[in-house]
Amino acid sequence: MNPKVMVVCGTRPDAIKVAPVVLRLKESRDIDTMLLVSGQHREMLTQALQDFGIAPDFDLQVMRHGQTLAYITSATLTALDESLEQSQPDMVVAQGDTTTTFVAALAAFYRSIPFAHIEAGLRTETIDSPFPEEFNRRATAQIAKIHFAPTKLALENLLAERINRNDIVLSGNTSIDAIQGVAAGVDSANVGRVGRTILVTTHRRENWGEPQRRICHAIKELIDRFPDINVVLPMHRNEAVRDVLRSELSNVDRVELIEPPGYKEFAGYMRSAYLILSDSGGVQEEAPALGIPVLVLRNETERPEGIDAGNALLVGTDPQRIIMEASLLLTDSKRYAAMSRASNPYGDGLAAQRIVSAIRKWFGLPFDAIPEFRG
Ligand code: UD1
Ligand code: UDP
Protein backbone atom coordinates (compact mmCIF):
# COMPACT_ATOMS: atom_id res chain seq x y z
CA MET A 1 0.00 0.00 0.00
CA ASN A 2 1.22 3.51 -0.79
CA PRO A 3 2.07 5.73 2.17
CA LYS A 4 -0.52 8.48 2.70
CA VAL A 5 0.70 12.05 3.14
CA MET A 6 -1.73 14.73 4.26
CA VAL A 7 -0.67 18.32 3.54
CA VAL A 8 -2.52 20.90 5.66
CA CYS A 9 -2.88 24.62 5.00
CA GLY A 10 -5.19 27.36 6.17
CA THR A 11 -4.19 30.83 5.04
CA ARG A 12 -3.04 32.57 1.86
CA PRO A 13 0.69 32.28 2.58
CA ASP A 14 0.30 28.64 3.67
CA ALA A 15 -1.40 27.85 0.38
CA ILE A 16 1.25 29.60 -1.73
CA LYS A 17 4.11 27.92 0.13
CA VAL A 18 2.70 24.38 0.23
CA ALA A 19 1.57 24.52 -3.41
CA PRO A 20 4.99 23.66 -4.93
CA VAL A 21 5.25 20.70 -2.52
CA VAL A 22 1.72 19.46 -3.23
CA LEU A 23 2.31 19.64 -6.98
CA ARG A 24 5.57 17.69 -6.70
CA LEU A 25 4.16 15.15 -4.24
CA LYS A 26 1.31 14.46 -6.64
CA GLU A 27 3.91 13.49 -9.25
CA SER A 28 4.96 10.64 -6.92
CA ARG A 29 2.68 7.80 -8.01
CA ASP A 30 3.84 5.70 -5.06
CA ILE A 31 2.58 8.25 -2.49
CA ASP A 32 -1.10 9.08 -1.91
CA THR A 33 -1.23 12.84 -1.37
CA MET A 34 -4.19 14.55 0.25
CA LEU A 35 -4.61 18.31 0.68
CA LEU A 36 -6.68 19.40 3.66
CA VAL A 37 -7.54 23.06 4.15
CA SER A 38 -8.75 24.31 7.52
CA GLY A 39 -10.43 27.25 5.81
CA GLN A 40 -8.94 29.65 8.40
CA HIS A 41 -8.99 31.93 5.34
CA ARG A 42 -11.72 31.52 2.75
CA GLU A 43 -11.58 33.69 -0.39
CA MET A 44 -7.86 34.43 -0.05
CA LEU A 45 -7.02 30.75 0.34
CA THR A 46 -9.16 29.62 -2.59
CA GLN A 47 -7.71 32.38 -4.74
CA ALA A 48 -4.13 31.31 -3.92
CA LEU A 49 -4.73 27.60 -4.59
CA GLN A 50 -6.51 28.39 -7.87
CA ASP A 51 -3.41 30.11 -9.21
CA PHE A 52 -1.57 26.80 -8.85
CA GLY A 53 -4.45 24.75 -10.27
CA ILE A 54 -4.89 22.87 -6.98
CA ALA A 55 -8.18 21.96 -5.28
CA PRO A 56 -8.38 20.68 -1.71
CA ASP A 57 -9.53 17.15 -0.94
CA PHE A 58 -10.99 18.24 2.43
CA ASP A 59 -12.16 21.64 3.62
CA LEU A 60 -12.92 22.16 7.32
CA GLN A 61 -14.46 25.60 6.53
CA VAL A 62 -13.70 27.07 9.95
CA MET A 63 -13.47 30.78 9.01
CA ARG A 64 -15.77 33.23 10.78
CA HIS A 65 -15.61 37.00 10.57
CA GLY A 66 -13.95 38.41 13.67
CA GLN A 67 -12.62 34.97 14.63
CA THR A 68 -10.45 34.73 17.74
CA LEU A 69 -7.26 32.74 18.08
CA ALA A 70 -8.98 30.42 20.56
CA TYR A 71 -11.80 29.82 18.09
CA ILE A 72 -9.49 29.00 15.14
CA THR A 73 -7.44 26.71 17.37
CA SER A 74 -10.32 24.78 18.91
CA ALA A 75 -12.47 24.55 15.78
CA THR A 76 -9.56 23.39 13.62
CA LEU A 77 -8.27 20.92 16.22
CA THR A 78 -11.63 19.21 16.65
CA ALA A 79 -12.43 19.01 12.94
CA LEU A 80 -8.91 18.02 11.92
CA ASP A 81 -8.82 15.25 14.48
CA GLU A 82 -11.93 13.73 12.90
CA SER A 83 -10.32 13.95 9.45
CA LEU A 84 -7.18 12.24 10.73
CA GLU A 85 -9.28 9.46 12.19
CA GLN A 86 -11.10 8.96 8.90
CA SER A 87 -8.12 9.32 6.55
CA GLN A 88 -5.40 7.66 8.65
CA PRO A 89 -2.44 9.46 7.02
CA ASP A 90 1.10 8.19 7.61
CA MET A 91 2.48 11.73 7.73
CA VAL A 92 1.11 15.26 8.17
CA VAL A 93 2.91 18.19 6.52
CA ALA A 94 2.34 21.92 7.05
CA GLN A 95 4.33 25.11 6.66
CA GLY A 96 5.24 28.17 8.65
CA ASP A 97 3.68 29.67 11.71
CA THR A 98 -0.04 30.16 11.31
CA THR A 99 -2.52 28.81 13.83
CA THR A 100 -3.59 26.18 11.29
CA THR A 101 0.01 24.95 11.13
CA PHE A 102 0.44 24.76 14.90
CA VAL A 103 -2.87 22.92 15.21
CA ALA A 104 -1.95 20.51 12.39
CA ALA A 105 1.20 19.60 14.33
CA LEU A 106 -0.73 19.22 17.58
CA ALA A 107 -3.47 17.10 16.01
CA ALA A 108 -0.85 14.85 14.39
CA PHE A 109 0.97 14.57 17.73
CA TYR A 110 -2.20 13.53 19.56
CA ARG A 111 -2.65 10.72 17.03
CA SER A 112 1.07 9.78 16.99
CA ILE A 113 1.38 10.62 13.28
CA PRO A 114 4.80 11.97 12.22
CA PHE A 115 4.68 15.68 11.41
CA ALA A 116 6.98 17.40 8.88
CA HIS A 117 7.45 21.17 9.16
CA ILE A 118 8.16 23.30 6.11
CA GLU A 119 9.80 26.69 6.83
CA ALA A 120 11.11 25.60 10.21
CA GLY A 121 13.51 27.53 12.42
CA LEU A 122 12.53 31.18 11.85
CA ARG A 123 12.90 32.97 15.16
CA THR A 124 12.76 36.36 16.83
CA GLU A 125 14.03 37.07 20.33
CA THR A 126 10.59 37.21 21.94
CA ILE A 127 7.85 34.63 22.03
CA ASP A 128 5.11 37.24 21.67
CA SER A 129 6.45 38.98 18.59
CA PRO A 130 5.18 38.40 16.00
CA PHE A 131 2.04 37.37 17.85
CA PRO A 132 1.02 34.56 17.89
CA GLU A 133 3.30 33.30 15.09
CA GLU A 134 6.50 33.11 17.15
CA PHE A 135 4.78 30.79 19.65
CA ASN A 136 3.23 28.78 16.82
CA ARG A 137 6.53 28.01 15.15
CA ARG A 138 8.42 27.29 18.37
CA ALA A 139 5.69 24.90 19.55
CA THR A 140 5.52 23.26 16.11
CA ALA A 141 9.27 22.58 16.24
CA GLN A 142 8.78 20.60 19.46
CA ILE A 143 6.52 18.20 17.59
CA ALA A 144 8.08 17.93 14.13
CA LYS A 145 9.99 14.81 13.13
CA ILE A 146 11.44 16.46 10.00
CA HIS A 147 12.32 20.17 9.93
CA PHE A 148 12.71 21.85 6.54
CA ALA A 149 14.87 24.87 7.32
CA PRO A 150 14.74 27.51 4.57
CA THR A 151 18.10 29.14 5.37
CA LYS A 152 21.34 28.50 7.20
CA LEU A 153 20.24 30.87 9.96
CA ALA A 154 17.01 28.91 10.44
CA LEU A 155 19.06 25.72 10.61
CA GLU A 156 21.31 27.26 13.27
CA ASN A 157 18.27 28.38 15.26
CA LEU A 158 17.01 24.79 15.30
CA LEU A 159 20.41 23.40 16.31
CA ALA A 160 20.51 25.94 19.16
CA GLU A 161 17.25 24.39 20.37
CA ARG A 162 18.94 20.98 20.41
CA ILE A 163 17.10 19.64 17.37
CA ASN A 164 19.14 16.82 15.88
CA ARG A 165 20.97 17.80 12.65
CA ASN A 166 19.85 14.51 11.07
CA ASP A 167 16.24 15.62 11.42
CA ILE A 168 16.84 18.91 9.57
CA VAL A 169 16.97 19.44 5.82
CA LEU A 170 18.30 22.79 4.59
CA SER A 171 15.77 23.06 1.80
CA GLY A 172 15.43 26.75 0.93
CA ASN A 173 12.03 28.38 1.10
CA THR A 174 9.23 27.09 -1.12
CA SER A 175 8.15 30.73 -1.61
CA ILE A 176 11.08 31.06 -4.00
CA ASP A 177 9.96 27.98 -5.95
CA ALA A 178 6.53 29.61 -6.16
CA ILE A 179 7.69 33.06 -7.22
CA GLN A 180 10.18 31.70 -9.75
CA GLY A 181 7.41 29.54 -11.14
CA VAL A 182 4.95 32.39 -11.63
CA ALA A 183 7.07 35.52 -11.99
CA ALA A 184 8.55 34.50 -15.32
CA GLY A 185 5.07 34.23 -16.78
CA VAL A 186 3.39 37.35 -15.37
CA ASP A 187 2.96 40.68 -17.03
CA SER A 188 3.62 43.94 -15.32
CA ALA A 189 0.45 45.04 -13.57
CA ASN A 190 1.19 48.72 -14.01
CA VAL A 191 -1.01 49.27 -17.01
CA GLY A 192 -2.47 52.76 -17.13
CA ARG A 193 -0.58 54.14 -14.13
CA VAL A 194 1.72 57.09 -14.64
CA GLY A 195 4.86 57.53 -12.58
CA ARG A 196 6.45 55.34 -9.96
CA THR A 197 4.29 52.90 -8.02
CA ILE A 198 4.72 52.13 -4.36
CA LEU A 199 3.04 48.84 -3.47
CA VAL A 200 1.88 48.60 0.14
CA THR A 201 0.54 45.68 2.18
CA THR A 202 -0.20 45.64 5.89
CA HIS A 203 -2.13 43.10 7.93
CA ARG A 204 -0.07 42.05 10.96
CA ARG A 205 -1.82 41.88 14.32
CA GLU A 206 0.93 44.04 15.88
CA ASN A 207 0.05 46.78 13.40
CA TRP A 208 -3.74 46.76 13.83
CA GLY A 209 -5.13 50.18 14.83
CA GLU A 210 -2.71 52.97 15.66
CA PRO A 211 0.42 51.60 13.90
CA GLN A 212 -1.61 51.19 10.72
CA ARG A 213 -2.80 54.79 11.03
CA ARG A 214 0.84 55.87 11.31
CA ILE A 215 1.66 53.93 8.13
CA CYS A 216 -1.25 55.72 6.40
CA HIS A 217 0.06 59.12 7.57
CA ALA A 218 3.44 58.31 6.07
CA ILE A 219 1.79 57.35 2.77
CA LYS A 220 -0.15 60.65 2.65
CA GLU A 221 3.00 62.63 3.33
CA LEU A 222 4.92 60.80 0.59
CA ILE A 223 2.07 61.46 -1.87
CA ASP A 224 2.26 65.18 -1.01
CA ARG A 225 6.02 65.33 -1.38
CA PHE A 226 6.40 63.37 -4.62
CA PRO A 227 3.96 64.33 -7.40
CA ASP A 228 5.24 61.51 -9.64
CA ILE A 229 4.34 58.62 -7.34
CA ASN A 230 1.19 56.58 -6.94
CA VAL A 231 0.34 54.04 -4.26
CA VAL A 232 -1.41 50.70 -4.79
CA LEU A 233 -2.64 49.05 -1.61
CA PRO A 234 -4.28 45.61 -1.87
CA MET A 235 -6.39 45.35 1.29
CA HIS A 236 -6.29 42.18 3.36
CA ARG A 237 -9.86 40.94 3.91
CA ASN A 238 -9.80 41.46 7.65
CA GLU A 239 -12.39 44.19 8.37
CA ALA A 240 -10.34 45.58 11.27
CA VAL A 241 -7.53 46.29 8.79
CA ARG A 242 -9.86 47.60 6.07
CA ASP A 243 -11.68 50.01 8.36
CA VAL A 244 -8.47 51.87 9.18
CA LEU A 245 -7.19 51.87 5.60
CA ARG A 246 -10.50 53.13 4.24
CA SER A 247 -10.94 55.81 6.87
CA GLU A 248 -7.41 57.15 6.31
CA LEU A 249 -6.87 56.71 2.58
CA SER A 250 -10.11 56.36 0.59
CA ASN A 251 -10.18 59.90 -0.66
CA VAL A 252 -6.50 60.47 -1.18
CA ASP A 253 -5.43 61.28 -4.75
CA ARG A 254 -3.07 58.76 -6.37
CA VAL A 255 -3.80 56.14 -3.69
CA GLU A 256 -5.71 53.07 -4.86
CA LEU A 257 -7.19 50.72 -2.28
CA ILE A 258 -7.86 47.52 -4.18
CA GLU A 259 -9.29 44.08 -3.47
CA PRO A 260 -6.49 41.57 -2.86
CA PRO A 261 -5.32 40.28 -6.21
CA GLY A 262 -4.56 36.59 -6.69
CA TYR A 263 -0.99 35.44 -6.40
CA LYS A 264 -0.06 35.76 -10.08
CA GLU A 265 -1.57 39.19 -10.39
CA PHE A 266 0.07 40.27 -7.14
CA ALA A 267 3.42 39.06 -8.50
CA GLY A 268 2.78 41.40 -11.44
CA TYR A 269 2.21 44.27 -9.01
CA MET A 270 5.44 43.43 -7.20
CA ARG A 271 7.41 43.21 -10.42
CA SER A 272 6.23 46.58 -11.62
CA ALA A 273 6.59 48.38 -8.29
CA TYR A 274 9.37 50.90 -7.78
CA LEU A 275 9.31 50.24 -4.06
CA ILE A 276 7.38 47.98 -1.66
CA LEU A 277 6.29 48.85 1.87
CA SER A 278 5.06 45.76 3.70
CA ASP A 279 4.71 43.97 7.00
CA SER A 280 4.15 40.63 5.22
CA GLY A 281 6.48 37.70 5.79
CA GLY A 282 6.13 36.24 2.30
CA VAL A 283 6.60 39.58 0.56
CA GLN A 284 9.91 40.01 2.44
CA GLU A 285 11.10 36.79 0.79
CA GLU A 286 9.76 37.46 -2.69
CA ALA A 287 10.82 41.10 -3.12
CA PRO A 288 14.59 40.35 -3.03
CA ALA A 289 14.11 37.60 -5.61
CA LEU A 290 12.44 40.16 -7.89
CA GLY A 291 15.00 42.87 -7.13
CA ILE A 292 12.45 45.28 -5.66
CA PRO A 293 13.53 47.17 -2.52
CA VAL A 294 11.28 46.57 0.47
CA LEU A 295 10.83 48.67 3.59
CA VAL A 296 9.64 46.33 6.33
CA LEU A 297 6.87 47.87 8.43
CA ARG A 298 7.78 45.99 11.62
CA ASN A 299 9.98 46.55 14.64
CA GLU A 300 11.42 43.07 14.52
CA THR A 301 11.78 40.47 11.79
CA GLU A 302 12.41 36.74 11.75
CA ARG A 303 13.75 37.21 8.22
CA PRO A 304 17.00 39.17 8.58
CA GLU A 305 18.50 37.53 5.47
CA GLY A 306 16.91 40.08 3.09
CA ILE A 307 18.27 42.91 5.21
CA ASP A 308 21.76 41.37 5.23
CA ALA A 309 21.54 40.92 1.46
CA GLY A 310 20.82 44.66 1.17
CA ASN A 311 17.33 44.36 -0.35
CA ALA A 312 15.27 45.14 2.74
CA LEU A 313 15.31 47.63 5.56
CA LEU A 314 13.48 47.35 8.87
CA VAL A 315 11.67 50.66 9.37
CA GLY A 316 8.87 49.90 11.85
CA THR A 317 5.76 52.09 11.83
CA ASP A 318 7.15 55.47 12.86
CA PRO A 319 5.96 57.76 10.04
CA GLN A 320 9.09 59.92 10.14
CA ARG A 321 11.32 56.90 9.61
CA ILE A 322 9.14 55.53 6.80
CA ILE A 323 9.05 58.92 5.08
CA MET A 324 12.81 59.38 5.43
CA GLU A 325 13.78 55.95 4.07
CA ALA A 326 11.21 56.02 1.27
CA SER A 327 12.26 59.57 0.30
CA LEU A 328 15.88 58.49 0.11
CA LEU A 329 14.99 55.64 -2.21
CA LEU A 330 12.89 57.99 -4.35
CA THR A 331 15.70 60.52 -4.73
CA ASP A 332 19.04 58.76 -4.33
CA SER A 333 19.65 56.62 -7.41
CA LYS A 334 22.79 54.98 -6.01
CA ARG A 335 20.99 53.91 -2.89
CA TYR A 336 18.10 52.66 -5.00
CA ALA A 337 20.39 50.71 -7.33
CA ALA A 338 22.12 49.05 -4.36
CA MET A 339 18.81 47.93 -2.87
CA SER A 340 17.35 46.70 -6.14
CA ARG A 341 20.05 44.20 -7.01
CA ALA A 342 18.17 40.90 -7.12
CA SER A 343 19.33 38.25 -4.67
CA ASN A 344 18.07 34.95 -3.37
CA PRO A 345 18.94 34.57 0.29
CA TYR A 346 15.75 32.57 0.85
CA GLY A 347 16.01 29.80 -1.70
CA ASP A 348 17.08 28.58 -5.12
CA GLY A 349 13.82 27.20 -6.46
CA LEU A 350 14.58 23.59 -5.51
CA ALA A 351 12.98 23.55 -2.06
CA ALA A 352 9.98 21.41 -3.03
CA GLN A 353 12.24 18.86 -4.73
CA ARG A 354 14.38 18.57 -1.58
CA ILE A 355 11.30 18.30 0.61
CA VAL A 356 9.70 15.57 -1.49
CA SER A 357 13.03 13.69 -1.65
CA ALA A 358 13.24 13.75 2.15
CA ILE A 359 9.64 12.54 2.48
CA ARG A 360 10.35 9.71 0.03
CA LYS A 361 13.47 8.80 2.01
CA TRP A 362 11.41 8.76 5.23
CA PHE A 363 9.13 6.13 3.68
CA GLY A 364 12.03 4.10 2.26
CA LEU A 365 11.12 4.98 -1.34
CA PRO A 366 13.80 5.71 -3.98
CA PHE A 367 14.70 9.42 -3.89
CA ASP A 368 16.85 11.96 -5.73
CA ALA A 369 19.81 13.06 -3.60
CA ILE A 370 19.75 16.83 -4.09
CA PRO A 371 22.51 18.83 -2.35
CA GLU A 372 21.19 21.12 0.38
CA PHE A 373 20.51 24.80 -0.27
CA ARG A 374 23.73 26.74 0.15
CA GLY A 375 22.28 30.13 1.03
C1 UD1 B 1 -3.45 34.99 9.44
C2 UD1 B 1 -2.27 34.40 10.23
C3 UD1 B 1 -1.02 35.24 10.01
C4 UD1 B 1 -0.73 35.40 8.52
C5 UD1 B 1 -1.97 35.92 7.80
C6 UD1 B 1 -1.72 35.94 6.31
C7 UD1 B 1 -2.72 33.33 12.39
C8 UD1 B 1 -3.00 33.53 13.82
N9 UD1 B 1 -2.59 34.45 11.65
O10 UD1 B 1 -3.73 36.25 9.99
O11 UD1 B 1 0.08 34.59 10.62
O12 UD1 B 1 0.31 36.32 8.37
O13 UD1 B 1 -3.09 35.06 8.07
O14 UD1 B 1 -2.65 36.71 5.63
O15 UD1 B 1 -2.64 32.21 11.93
N16 UD1 B 1 -10.85 37.11 6.12
C17 UD1 B 1 -11.80 36.99 5.13
N18 UD1 B 1 -11.50 36.23 4.03
C19 UD1 B 1 -10.32 35.59 3.88
C20 UD1 B 1 -9.35 35.72 4.90
C21 UD1 B 1 -9.64 36.47 6.02
O22 UD1 B 1 -12.89 37.55 5.22
O23 UD1 B 1 -10.11 34.91 2.87
C24 UD1 B 1 -11.16 37.93 7.32
C25 UD1 B 1 -12.13 37.19 8.28
O26 UD1 B 1 -13.03 38.11 8.79
C27 UD1 B 1 -11.20 36.70 9.39
C28 UD1 B 1 -10.16 37.80 9.42
O29 UD1 B 1 -9.97 38.18 8.07
O30 UD1 B 1 -11.88 36.54 10.62
C31 UD1 B 1 -8.84 37.46 10.07
O32 UD1 B 1 -8.31 36.24 9.57
P33 UD1 B 1 -7.27 35.40 10.49
O34 UD1 B 1 -6.80 34.22 9.73
O35 UD1 B 1 -7.86 35.17 11.83
O36 UD1 B 1 -6.09 36.42 10.72
P37 UD1 B 1 -5.06 37.07 9.70
O38 UD1 B 1 -4.79 38.45 10.18
O39 UD1 B 1 -5.52 36.86 8.32
N1 UDP C 1 -0.14 38.06 -1.78
C2 UDP C 1 -1.15 37.92 -2.72
N3 UDP C 1 -2.07 38.93 -2.84
C4 UDP C 1 -2.03 40.05 -2.07
C5 UDP C 1 -1.01 40.16 -1.10
C6 UDP C 1 -0.08 39.15 -0.98
O7 UDP C 1 -1.22 36.92 -3.43
O8 UDP C 1 -2.89 40.91 -2.21
C9 UDP C 1 0.83 36.96 -1.63
C10 UDP C 1 2.29 37.36 -1.56
O11 UDP C 1 2.88 37.34 -2.85
C12 UDP C 1 2.88 36.30 -0.64
C13 UDP C 1 1.75 35.96 0.29
O14 UDP C 1 0.57 36.39 -0.37
O15 UDP C 1 3.23 35.13 -1.35
C16 UDP C 1 1.92 36.65 1.61
O17 UDP C 1 0.76 36.55 2.33
P18 UDP C 1 0.42 37.51 3.55
O19 UDP C 1 1.13 38.80 3.38
O20 UDP C 1 -1.06 37.53 3.68
O21 UDP C 1 0.97 36.68 4.81
P22 UDP C 1 2.39 36.56 5.53
O23 UDP C 1 3.40 36.14 4.52
O24 UDP C 1 2.68 37.87 6.17
O25 UDP C 1 2.15 35.52 6.58
Residue 280 CA: nearest ligand 2 atom is 24
Q: Structurally, how many domains does the chain consist of?
A: 2
CA of 208 to the centre of ligand 2 (A): 17
In a domain, 252, yes or no: yes
Residue 147, in any domain of the structure: yes
Q: Whose CA is nearest to atom 3 of ligand 1?
A: 98
8 A C-beta contact, residue 194 and residue 230:
yes
Residue 33: partners with Cβ closer than 8 Å, 6 or more residues away: 5, 7, 22, 25, 26
User: Which ligand neighbours the alpha carbon of 237 most closely?
Assistant: 1
Neighbours of 202 (CB within 10 A): 24
User: What does the pLDDT read at residue 242?
Assistant: 98
Just list the catalytic residues.
97, 119, 133, 203, 205, 236
Domain-embedded: residue 373: no
Which pairing describes strands 312-314 and 294-296: parallel, antiparallel, or unpaired? parallel
Top mutation candidate among 12, 41, 59 for ligand 1, by most atoms within 8 Å of CB: 41
Task: Return the H-helix or E-strand segment holding 323.
Answer: helix 319-331
pLDDT of residue 91: 99
How much helix, strand and coil, in percent to the nearest 5, is found in the chain?
Answer: 45, 15, 40
User: Does 168 fall in a domain?
Assistant: yes
**283 alpha carbon, distance to own chain's centre:** 7
**Treating both helix axes as pointing N-terminal to C-terminal, what angle do 239-249 and 210-225 enclose, rounded to 10 degrees?**
30
Residues 255 and 278 in one domain: yes
Let me know whether 64 and 99 are in one domain: yes
Does 134 share its domain with 222? Answer: no
Q: Report yes or no on 181 lying in a domain.
A: no
* Whether 169 and 277 share a structural domain: no
Q: Which residue's alpha carbon is nearest to atom 25 within ligand 1?
A: 65
Give 266's contacts (C-beta < 8 A, 6+ positions apart). Answer: 234, 260
CATH of the domain at 116: 3.40.50.2000
Same-domain pairing of 97 and 157: yes
CA separation for the pair 30, 14 (Å, rounded): 25
Q: How far is the CA of 3 from the centre of ligand 2 (A)?
A: 32
What phi and psi, each to the nearest 5 degrees, are found at residue 98? -80, 170
| pLDDT score, position 192 | 67
User: Which are the contacts of 337, defined by CB distance < 8 A and separation ≥ 6?
Assistant: none
Which atom number of ligand 1 is nearest to the Cα of residue 47? 23
Residues 143 and 194 in one domain: no
E runs forming strands in the chain: 4-9, 32-37, 58-59, 91-95, 115-118, 146-149, 168-170, 196-201, 229-234, 255-258, 275-278, 294-296, 312-314
- SS3 assignment, position 47: helix
How far, in Å, CA of 340 to CA of 335, rounded? 9
Q: Let me know whether 167 and 219 are in one domain.
A: no
Domain housing 150: 4-173+347-362
Give yes or no: residues 158 and 201 share one domain: no
Residues 356 and 320 in one domain: no
Cα 354–355–360 angle (5° rounding)? 95
The list of the chain residues with pLDDT below 50 reads none
Q: Hey, how many other C-beta atoms are within 10 angstroms of the C-beta on 361? A: 15
Q: 375 lies in a domain?
A: no
- Measured from the alpha carbon of residue 177, the closest ligand is 2
CA distances (Å), 92 to each of 40, 104, 204, 210, in order? 18, 7, 27, 39
4 beta partners: 32
Q: Which atom of ligand 2 is nearest to the CA of 97?
A: 25
Residues 358 and 320 in one domain: no
Is position 95 within any domain? yes
Alpha helix (H) ranges present in 226-304?
Answer: 239-249, 263-272, 281-290
Q: Are residues 159 and 212 in the same domain?
A: no
Residue 171 · residue 148 · CB < 8 Å = yes
pLDDT digits (tens, 9 = 90+) for 159-189: 999 999 999 999 999 999 999 998 777 776 6
Is there a cis peptide before residue 319, judged by omega within 30 degrees of 0?
no
- Do the domain assignments include residue 368? no
345/335 Cα distance (integer angstroms): 20
Identify whether the C-beta of residue 326 lies closer than 8 Å to the C-beta of residue 218: yes
Query: Are 166 and 230 contained in the same domain?
Result: no
Q: Would you state the torsion angle of the CA atoms of residues 240, 306, 225, 213, taken in this order, to the nearest 10 degrees?
A: 20
Alpha-carbon distances of 65 from 10, 211, 274, 298, rounded to whole Å: 15, 22, 34, 25
